[in-house]
């Protein structure tokens, strides 16, 4: 079968890599893909604007896939699933209505309130004048979030109410995150461990994926501004069976049931971004697709056929048996361009990829790369996701950092403490 993967990041490279392992897949198209994806066997990259339905339709007409997989959030927000379904094309992902769980934080918060899904106290502000009165109901620190999609960067943790007001007003002005900030959500700050818990849904039944932990801040020790993610790891110990079952019955299944009740049948990956607090798990956010970089270690632990799982969701036959997982650990270290998450230069030549590929159990997933004049060069903020699997987290991290040290480009930077919190608990 032919598969079309929409997107161009490390998540999409991981999806392509895993899909290629299915005996059913003969060819993969990626729109638009990146330099590393194009270098994979049986893969063809197609130029495409993922923000344009017409461009996405044109990519499908050109490739004639038997199945399309949506990687990033923007195509879901603009309704690519609805459009492909209208044309009778098989596609994996939630509809535009269901994807509001990610595309609008205020929609998600109000939905959780309706279905009593645990989430931090919040307030929604549509104007600058509404911000300071709303802040009276919070204690500092306060989390300020842009309502719309902001590539993981529309979140500010304000230490004081004045800082929160300044951030909220800046977002509402459009100067900070553009149209994503036309509405803001003020949220109670929570202490605890963050966990990424994903499930596969067919609109009625769900099946859990293994959990992962992301590292969102740019610097070691969780310092500096938020990013799209600087690394992630997944281990069997991250979530025990009892807590996994609680999350399924009290968060994931109620979301799927509630969406169905409101006429937005949810088919696809539901990503629950959780804070594990002293009072129990609380939902910080939903994503309507695989996370990036969480997908890299998660998919590296997957031992069953990913195509079979996607088709089970589309056909309404998801069960606990659609996934089989390794008991190994996996870890991903993101290598970013100098200046990221601020401004950065593109076109820096990348060295050492062949050497990194020699590390046992490691795979370098490309995120922001292009292939020009016989060389891989940088073309994004997050450039590579160096990922490795081993029987322990310590060994997986050692392999990932070994491979990572073999790669270089001008301005490259990465966190040196991925998985540190988990290692301290041992």
CA dist 400 and 46 (Å) reads 30
CATH of the domain at 287: 3.30.470.20
User: Residues near 374 by Cβ (< 8 Å), separated by ≥ 6?
Assistant: none
**Residue 121 domain flag:** no
User: What proportion of the chain, given as a percentage, has pLDDT over 70?
Assistant: 99
Select from 322, 355, 378 the last residue of a domain. 322
- pLDDT of 178 above 90: no
The verdict on 66 and 23 lying in the same domain is yes
The verdict on 9 and 84 lying in the same domain is yes
Range in 115-124, 144-153, 252-261 the model is least confident about: 144-153
**Residue 98 domain flag:** no
**Residue 391 domain flag:** yes
For the stretch 2-50, pLDDT in tens is: 999 999 999 999 999 999 999 999 999 999 999 999 999 999 999 999 9
| Cα–Cα nearest to 227, from 353, 383, 75 | 383
Task: Please give the pLDDT value at position 92.
Answer: 98
The verdict on 384 and 337 lying in the same domain is yes
The verdict on 177 and 206 lying in the same domain is no
- pLDDT of 153 above 70: no
For 119-266, where are the alpha helices, taking DSSP H only?
131-135, 161-173, 241-247, 253-261
Q: What is the DSSP string of 292-351?
A: TTTHHHHHHHB-S-HHHHHHHHHTT---GGG--B-SSEEEEEEEE-TTTTS-----PBPB
The verdict on 135 and 200 lying in the same domain is no
Number of C-alpha atoms within 13 angstroms, CB side, residue 28? 29
- pLDDT of 389 above 90: yes
pLDDT band for position 173 (50/70/90)?
confident
Select from 69, 93, 117 the last residue of a domain. 93
CA 410 to chain centre: 26
Domain that holds residue 370: 329-424
**Backbone phi and psi for residue 333, each to the nearest 5 degrees, phi listed first:** -115, 120
CATH of the domain at 410: 3.90.600.10
pLDDT band for position 152 (50/70/90)?
low
pLDDT band for position 174 (50/70/90)?
confident
Range in 88-92, 124-128, 343-347, 356-360 the model is least confident about: 124-128
The verdict on 263 and 200 lying in the same domain is yes
pLDDT mean over 135-140: 91
- pLDDT of 176 above 80: no
Range in 78-92, 150-164, 238-252 the model is least confident about: 150-164
Task: Please give the pLDDT value at position 398.
Answer: 98
Select from 143, 159, 182 the last residue of a domain. 182
The verdict on 309 and 339 lying in the same domain is no
pLDDT mean over 361-388: 97
pLDDT mean over 203-230: 94
**Residue 274 domain flag:** yes
Task: Please give the pLDDT value at position 421.
Answer: 86
pTM: 0.94
The verdict on 259 and 178 lying in the same domain is no
- pLDDT of 307 above 90: yes
Task: Please give the pLDDT value at position 319.
Answer: 83
Counting the structural domains of the chain, the total is: 4
**Residue 42 domain flag:** yes
Range in 165-179, 280-294, 403-417 the model is least confident about: 165-179
Task: Please give the pLDDT value at position 20.
Answer: 98
The verdict on 164 and 73 lying in the same domain is no
pLDDT mean over 203-229: 94
The verdict on 207 and 150 lying in the same domain is no
**Residue 122 domain flag:** no
pLDDT mean over 262-280: 96
Burial profile 71-93: b = 16 or more Cβ within 10 angstroms, e = fewer: bbbbbbbbbbbbbbeeeebbbbb
**Residue 109 domain flag:** no
pLDDT mean over 213-223: 95
> How big is the chain, counted in residues?
426
- pLDDT of 240 above 80: yes
pLDDT mean over 325-351: 97
SS3 31: strand
**Residue 101 domain flag:** no
The verdict on 223 and 311 lying in the same domain is yes
- pLDDT of 210 above 80: yes
| Cα–Cα nearest to 421, from 212, 252, 122, 266 | 212
SS3 418: coil
CATH of the domain at 160: 3.30.1490.20
Range in 148-157, 322-331, 386-395 the model is least confident about: 148-157
pLDDT mean over 121-148: 91
For the stretch 53-98, pLDDT in tens is: 999 999 999 999 999 999 999 999 999 999 999 999 999 999 999 9
The verdict on 311 and 412 lying in the same domain is no
Return mean pLDDT, the chain: 95
């Amino acid at each position: 079968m032919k598969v079309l993967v929409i997107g161009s990041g490390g998540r999409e490279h991981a999806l392509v890599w895993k899909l290629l392992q299915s005996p059913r897949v003969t060819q993969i198209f990626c729109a638009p893909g990146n330099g590393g994806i194009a270098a994979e066997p049986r893969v063809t990259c197609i130029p495409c604007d993922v923000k344009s339905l017409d461009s996405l339709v044109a990519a499908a007409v050109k490739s004639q896939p038997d199945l399309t997989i949506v990687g990033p959030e923007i195509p879901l927000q603009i309704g690519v699933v609805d459009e492909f379904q209208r044309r009778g094309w098989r596609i994996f992902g939630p509809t535009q209505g269901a994807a509001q769980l990610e595309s609008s934080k205020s929609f998600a918060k109000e939905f959780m309130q309706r279905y009593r899904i645990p989430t931090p106290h919040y307030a929604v502000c549509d104007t600058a004048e509404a911000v300071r009165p709303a802040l009276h109901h919070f204690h500092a620190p306060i989390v300020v979030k842009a309502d719309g999609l902001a590539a993981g960067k529309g979140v500010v943790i304000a230490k004081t109410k004045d800082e929160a007001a300044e951030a909220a007003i800046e977002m509402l002005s459009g100067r900070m995150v553009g149209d994503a900030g036309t509405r803001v959500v003020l949220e109670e700050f929570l202490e605890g461990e963050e966990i990424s818990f994903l499930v596969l849904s067919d609109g009625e039944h769900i099946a859990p994926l293994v959990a992962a932990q992301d590292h969102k801040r740019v610097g070691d020790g969780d310092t500096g501004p938020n990013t799209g993610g600087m690394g992630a790891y997944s281990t069997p110990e991250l979530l025990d069976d009892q807590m996994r079952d609680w999350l399924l019955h009290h968060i994931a299944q109620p979301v799927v049931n509630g969406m169905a009740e409101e006429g937005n049948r949810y088919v696809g990956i539901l990503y629950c971004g959780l804070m594990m607090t002293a009072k129990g798990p609380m939902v910080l956010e939903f994503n309507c697709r695989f996370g990036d970089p969480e997908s890299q270690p998660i998919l590296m632990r997957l031992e069953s056929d990913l195509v079979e799982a996607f088709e089970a969701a589309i056909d309404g036959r998801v069960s606990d048996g659609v996934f089989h997982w390794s008991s190994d650990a996996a870890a991903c270290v993101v290598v970013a361009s100098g200046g990221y998450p601020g401004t950065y230069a593109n076109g820096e030549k990348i060295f050492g990829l062949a050497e990194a590929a020699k590390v046992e159990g490691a795979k370098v997933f490309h995120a922001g790369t292009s292939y020009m004049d016989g060389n891989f060069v940088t073309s994004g903020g997050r450039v590579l996701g160096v990922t490795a699997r081993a029987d322990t987290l310590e060994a997986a991290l050692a392999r990932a950092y070994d491979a990572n040290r073999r790669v270089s480009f001008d301005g490259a930077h990465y966190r040196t403490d991925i998985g540190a919190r988990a290692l301290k608990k041992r």
